[in-house]
Amino acid sequence: KQEVTQIPAALSVPEGENLVLNCSFTDSAIYNLQWFRQDPGKGLTSLLLIQSSQREQTSGRLNASLDKSSGRSTLYIAASQPGDSATYLCAVFVSGTYKYIFGTGTRLKVLA
């Protein structure tokens, strides 16, 4: 059964730091992996989607990589800002079932 883990569960960094959030999954049979951002009391906003045949995707200060063989993805945030404070979630779209499995998220706080 597919399981998705995100480490660390919470992270606090000073403004300006580059940081890496981790996502690991147990079964490499996925169609894609998606990173989301969730602000308190809000829905999820899609940040980046990496198809299973891709290695990375970039959007502005965000870069996500995917290593299917090792079951890992990382979200790199460059030059962090207080506005980046949110919970970041990853999710895999499971091959054959068309189900989504989410990690429990990393709660990020960027201090001014």
Partner 1 sequence: EAQVTQNPRYLITVTGKKLTVTCSQNMNHEYMSWYRQDPGLGLRQIYYSMNVEVTDKGDVPEGYKVSRKEKRNFPLILESPSPNQTSLYFCASSTMAGAKNQPQHFGDGTRLSIL
The residues that touch partner 1, with contacts defined as CB under 8 A, are: 31-32, 34, 36, 42-46, 49, 51, 89, 91, 93, 95, 97-105
Name which of 92 and 110 has its Cβ closer to partner 1.
92
What's the CA gap between 7 and 48, in Å, rounded? 18
We find the least distance from the C-beta atom of residue 96 to partner 1, in angstroms, to be 9
All residues at 6 or more sequence positions from 46 whose CB lies less than 8 Å from its CB, including other chains = 34, 35, 36
For 28, 52, 64, 69, 82, the CA distances from 72, given in Å and listed in that order, are 9, 12, 11, 8, 27
Nearer to partner 1, 10 or 111 (CB): 10
- Of 6 and 85, CB closest to partner 1: 6
Q: Give dist(CA 88, CA 39) in Å, integer.
A: 9
In the complex, minimum distance from the CB of residue 3 to partner 1, in angstroms, rounded to a whole number: 11
- The minimum distance between CB 82 and partner 1, in angstroms, equals 23
